[in-house]
């Protein structure tokens, strides 16, 4: 068993999970704030 | 704490903080990860797989700290009816669940070459899995309460009761004979060699700052959605 396979797999899970969570939260926040702002202007 | 009860005042602080915390956390975590993968020696017993520690420990800490945050916000909701408490608790639930899942997944991957198994029903692993299920239940409960327009107190009580699991996770390695190693990092010192340990504070602080930025993003999203719904209700009532 190559130990680096396990290291890479663990880091992939952590980095993809963190990146996915960050991007999803950022997009949701921007979308919600834009929608609130556009309704305020109406 | 009540100085930030006003959402406008909170947002004036949260808007610049989100970016600063996010970027500082990302840079620190990245530096810690690169250092952990390239600059530290392999462990004499575990070999290269010891490097999984640099992401597994911060994920475990944030999975537990997330529920600690939910419990603290629940106290603020139940005792002081702080207007931002329920929003802070809801904003913490999904990031907490994600980091609890990362902890379980990275621990399982680490367990295979170290223990020879992907999973073992021992105290530490099982109590961490219970924490993940508590997060899922909390998210469902808080969302259902919000959809029905209120009922944040039920979610707050659940958040407080669920905190019982935190000392169980922490002391599980002392209370039961487990496959998981005992406590190796404390306030007074560590049993891990400094040459291996030093990138761990970098990744821990980095992921913590990033976690805080994510919570701020989700709080801003929930506040904007609440503002949007209130305005739509007013417009609907006026029509």
Give the tens place of pLDDT for each residue, B169-197: 999 988 887 788 877 777 777 888 899 99
Percent of chain B with pLDDT over 90: 72
Give the tens place of pLDDT for each residue, B5-50: 678 889 999 999 999 999 999 999 999 999 999 999 999 989 999 9
Q: What is the pLDDT at residue B147?
A: 72
Q: Three-state SS for B162?
A: helix
**Residue B230, pLDDT above cutoff 60:** yes
Q: What is the pLDDT at residue B239?
A: 55
**Residue B133, pLDDT above cutoff 90:** yes
Give yes or no for a contact between B218 and B95, defined as CB atoms under 8 angstroms apart.
yes
**Residue B150, pLDDT above cutoff 80:** no
Mutation target to probe the A interface, by most A beta carbons within 10 A, among B221, B236, B238 is: B221
Q: Three-state SS for A7?
A: helix
Q: What is the pLDDT at residue B130?
A: 98
pTM, whole model, 2 decimals? 0.93
Tell me the pLDDT of chain B averaged across its residues: 91
Beta-bridged to residue B190, according to DSSP, are B185
- For A35, the closest chain B residue by CA position comes to B228
The answer to whether the Cβ–Cβ distance between A7 and B37 falls below 8 Å is yes
The C-alpha of A5 sits at a distance from chain B's nearest C-alpha, in angstroms, of 9
Residue numbers in B near A3 (CB within 8 A): 47-49, 113
**Residue B65, pLDDT above cutoff 90:** yes
- How far, in Å, CA of B200 to CA of B166, rounded? 22
The answer to whether the Cβ–Cβ distance between B106 and A35 falls below 8 Å is no
Q: Count of CB contacts below 8 A, A vs B?
A: 97
Residue numbers in A near B118 (CB within 8 A): none
Q: What is the pLDDT at residue B61?
A: 97
* Residue B115 in tokens: 């223990």
Confidence of residue B238 (pLDDT cuts 50, 70, 90): low
Give yes or no for a contact between A19 and B29, defined as CB atoms under 8 angstroms apart.
no
Predicted interface score ipTM higher than 0.85: yes
Give the tens place of pLDDT for each residue, A1-42: 899 999 999 999 999 999 999 999 999 999 999 998 887 777
B127's CB contacts (< 8 A; 6+ apart) are: B165, B168, B169, B172
Residue among B117, B115, B118 at smallest CA distance from B181: B115
- How far, in Å, CA of B167 to CA of B127, rounded? 10
């Amino acid at each position: 068993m190559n130990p680096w396979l396990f290291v890479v797999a663990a880091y992939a899970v952590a980095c993809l999970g963190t990146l996915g969570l960050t991007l999803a939260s950022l997009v949701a926040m921007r979308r919600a704030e834009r929608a609130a702002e556009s309704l305020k202007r109406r | 704490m009540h100085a930030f009860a006003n959402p406008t005042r909170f947002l004036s602080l949260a808007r610049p903080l989100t970016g600063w915390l996010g970027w500082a956390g990302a840079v620190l975590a990245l530096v810690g990860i690169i250092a952990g993968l390239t600059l530290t020696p392999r462990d004499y017993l575990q070999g290269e797989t010891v490097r999984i520690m640099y992401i597994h420990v911060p994920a475990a800490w944030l999975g537990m700290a997330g529920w600690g945050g939910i419990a603290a916000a629940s106290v603020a909701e139940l005792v002081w009816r702080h207007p931002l408490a329920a929003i802070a608790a809801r904003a913490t639930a999904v990031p907490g669940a994600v980091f609890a899942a990362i902890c379980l997944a990275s621990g399982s991957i680490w367990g295979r070459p170290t223990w020879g198994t992907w999973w073992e029903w021992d105290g530490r692993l099982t109590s961490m899995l219970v924490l993940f299920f508590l997060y899922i239940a909390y998210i469902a409960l808080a969302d259902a309460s919000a959809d029905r327009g209120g009922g944040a107190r039920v979610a707050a009580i659940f958040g407080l009761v669920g905190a019982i699991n935190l000392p169980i996770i922490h002391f599980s390695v002392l209370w039961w004979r487990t496959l998981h190693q005992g406590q190796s990092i404390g306030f007074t010192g560590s049993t891990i060699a400094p040459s291996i340990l030093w990138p761990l504070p970098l990744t821990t602080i980095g992921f913590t700052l990033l976690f805080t930025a994510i919570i701020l993003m989700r709080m801003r999203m929930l506040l904007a959605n609440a503002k949007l719904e209130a305005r739509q209700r007013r417009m609907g009532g006026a029509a």
